[in-house]
Amino acid sequence: DAGVTQSPTHLIKTRGQQVTLRCSPISGHKSVSWYQQVLGQGPQFIFQYYEKEERGRGNFPDRFSARQFPNYSSELNVNALLLGDSALYLCASSLERQYEQYFGPGTRLTVT
Amino acid sequence: KQEVTQIPAALSVPEGENLVLNCSFTDSAIYNLQWFRQDPGKGLTSLLLIQSSQREQTSGRLNASLDKSSGRSTLYIAASQPGDSATYLCAVTSPRGGSNYKLTFGKGTLLTVNP
């Protein structure tokens, strides 16, 4: 079975621009979570979606938004990019929200 | 607020050595604890999951223990190999009974196994 997939792999954007990152969960998994990992740190929780509804939000500004589609795939949007948004963005899926989470390869975002 | 600490931040050992990585968390109301491996610039690979009611889990050369009351977990790696070189991350799912089952991560331990 395919694991969690994310696209694109790498992305370079300019300050002030907007970006959309995509995630496809493992087949049958209903929950998708997004994490931001800056260099040298552990991942930080951004959002959790379950059955197409937002079930949790981390300490991130309103420039960050997400949604989950009927097929359980998800998009993370970041508006008005700042240099500090440069990071590895990780998507994780799980069968239910509290179960073992499986991570994708991540999207490396560089803001210049 | 849940906080996770991993000690040491970095560890360098010769091949074949047994080693222990440590993880501590401040709030014992966790649902489970996961250990992950991360290679440079890559995503996370789940190694072991311990439910809050369990004391340990084993997979091959890896053994993870959990002492929820003291807020501690250890990852034991037997007979280390150069291929084990990576960053190891500990994360807890909390809060138990809450509506938001997020993972809270430590900063990781960078392991280097020298041939």
Interface check for B49 against chain A (CB to CB < 8 A): the answer is: yes
- The mean predicted confidence, pLDDT, of chain B is 93
With an 8 Å Cβ cutoff, are B46 and A56 in contact? Answer: no
Closest residue in B to A96 (Cα) is: B101
Q: Which of B43, B49, B107 is closest, CB to CB, to A42?
A: B107
For residue B100, name the pLDDT band (cuts at 50, 70, 90): low
**Amino acid identity at B64:** A
With an 8 Å Cβ cutoff, are A90 and B45 in contact? Answer: no
Evaluate whether B47 touches B62 at the Cβ level (below 8 Å). yes
Chain A residues whose beta carbon lies within 8 Å of the beta carbon of residue B3: none
Summarised one tens digit per residue, pLDDT across range A41-79 is: 999 999 999 988 998 899 999 999 999 999 999 999 999
Q: Which of B46, B100, B104 is closest, CB to CB, to A100?
A: B46
Angstroms from A51 CA to nearest CA on chain B:
14
Summarised one tens digit per residue, pLDDT across range B40-53 is: 989 999 999 999 99
> What is d(CA B85, CA B112) in angstroms, rounded to the nearest whole number?
5
> What is d(CA B19, CA B79) in angstroms, rounded to the nearest whole number?
8
Q: Which of A55, A56, A106 is closest, CB to CB, to B43?
A: A106
The pLDDT of residue A96 is 78
Cβ partners under 8 Å of residue A98, min gap 6: B31, B32, B93, B101
> What is d(CA B69, CA B96) in angstroms, rounded to the nearest whole number?
14
Interface check for B107 against chain A (CB to CB < 8 A): the answer is: yes
With an 8 Å Cβ cutoff, are A42 and B101 in contact? Answer: no
For residue A1, name the pLDDT band (cuts at 50, 70, 90): low
Cβ contacts from A onto B, under 8 A: 64
Average pLDDT over residues B70-80: 97
For residue B95, name the pLDDT band (cuts at 50, 70, 90): low
Cβ partners under 8 Å of residue A14, min gap 6: A81, A111, A112
For residue B31, name the pLDDT band (cuts at 50, 70, 90): confident
Interface check for B93 against chain A (CB to CB < 8 A): the answer is: yes
Chain B residues whose beta carbon lies within 8 Å of the beta carbon of residue A97: 101
Q: Dihedral through CA A15, CA A20, CA A26, CA A30, nearest 10? A: 110
Phi and psi dihedrals of A83, rounded to 5? -55, -35
Integer-rounded Cα Rg, in Å, for chain A is 13
With an 8 Å Cβ cutoff, are A45 and B104 in contact? Answer: yes
Higher pLDDT, B101 or A11: A11
> What is d(CA A16, CA A3) in angstroms, rounded to the nearest whole number?
33
Burial A76-103 (b: 16+ CB within 10 A, else e): bebeebeeebbbbbbbbbbeebbbebbb
Average pLDDT over residues B88-110: 84
Summarised one tens digit per residue, pLDDT across range A19-39 is: 999 999 999 999 999 999 999
> What is d(CA A35, CA A47) in angstroms, rounded to the nearest whole number?
7
